[in-house]
Amino acid sequence: MTTDANSQAAWKQAAARAAVDLVSDGMIVGIGTGSTATFAIHALANRMQTGLRFLGIPSSERSAALATSLGIPLTTFADHPRIDLTIDGADEVERGTLNLIKGHGGALLREKIVAVASRRLVIIVDGTKLVDRLGERSAIPVEVVDFGWEATKGRLEALGATVDLRCTPDGEPFCTDGGNRILDCSFGSIADPAMLEEKIGRIVGVVECGLFVGLADMVFIGDATGVTCLERSPGPSVGA
């Protein structure tokens, strides 16, 4: 699919608006991170101005700051351990399973905590994010503790990945909201994401990985034809 930045932004915004229409009065809403989630935060703020009442739980300091600046009231897991609906972006969405790769914005740990605490996880993407198999285009971001990250990198390479330490544009190691590093792990096309997630999770030093398996309930996809919604077929529930 060929696309330009303006069309892609419009598709993200259309998907975000469709997802935000699902929010109803009194909900606890998980707020995602990234450029598509930013459109959702603005759409939530717009709906608030027309009377919608809800409380948000953001998945990053960035999203918290934006939500606060737009007047969206926030809450915490201490007061609301269960989330009704989370709206978040993704880097890849696998057609058929709706399994995801997330974390290219560096917020995967909090995003996964928010996702598994959610009764419904709604993903918003533009059509360029759809793939037949996860890993086709994107590396899997893996959040690791700083101590011994070089050894952790070696264990990830032993699983078959090409591994890059994520750096900022200044060349400094990227630091997550939790004070950890990100190793971007390219595995190529992934046949069994659940098994890979388990293997990565067993490595000492790994905090969490950006494979989201069996978590997304709905995906809104914006593209040149409008917005399409995919729903996961019923199966064992992983989230709250």
Shortest approach of ligand 5RP to residue 73 CB, angstroms? Answer: 22
Region from 20-28, 42-50, 82-90, 151-159 binding ligand 5RP, contact rule CB under 6 A: 82-90
Q: Rule CB under 6 A: is residue 127 a binding residue for ligand 5RP?
A: no
**H/E segment holding residue 222:** strand 218-223
Q: Which of residues 35-54 bind ligand 5RP (CB under 6 A)?
A: 35-37
Hey, what long-range contacts does 236-240 have (CB within 8 A, 24 or more apart)? Answer: 238/116, 238/213, 238/214, 239/115, 239/116, 239/117, 239/118, 239/119, 239/121, 239/215, 240/82, 240/83, 240/116, 240/117, 240/118, 240/119
Q: Which three-class secondary structure string do you get for 86-148? A: EEECCCEEECCCCCEECCCCCCHHHHHHHHHCEEEEEEEEEHHHEECCCCCCCCEEEEECCCC
**H/E segment holding residue 201:** helix 193-201
Q: Which of residues 174-193 bind ligand 5RP (CB under 6 A)?
A: none
**H/E segment holding residue 29:** strand 27-31
30, 32, 58, 222: which one binds ligand 5RP (CB under 6 A):
32
Nearer to ligand 5RP, 26 or 135 (CB): 135
Shortest approach of ligand 5RP to residue 13 CB, angstroms? Answer: 11
58, 89, 193, 239: which one binds ligand 5RP (CB under 6 A):
89
Q: What is the DSSP string of 207-219?
A: EEESEE-S--SEE
Q: Rule CB under 6 A: is residue 107 a binding residue for ligand 5RP?
A: yes
Is residue 197 part of the annotated active site? The answer reads no
- Active-site residue identified among 61, 92, 94, 111: 111
CA distances (Å), origin 56, targets 17, 29, 131, 133: 16, 5, 30, 32
Q: Rule CB under 6 A: is residue 111 a binding residue for ligand 5RP?
A: yes
Q: Rule CB under 6 A: is residue 94 a binding residue for ligand 5RP?
A: no
Q: Rule CB under 6 A: is residue 30 a binding residue for ligand 5RP?
A: no
Nearer to ligand 5RP, 35 or 228 (CB): 35
Rounded CA separation 223/26 (Å): 31
64, 90, 115, 200: which one binds ligand 5RP (CB under 6 A):
90
88, 94, 184, 223: which one binds ligand 5RP (CB under 6 A):
88
Q: Where in the sequence numbering do the catalytic residues fall? A: 111
Residues in touch with ligand 5RP (CB under 6 A): 32-37, 88-91, 102-108, 111
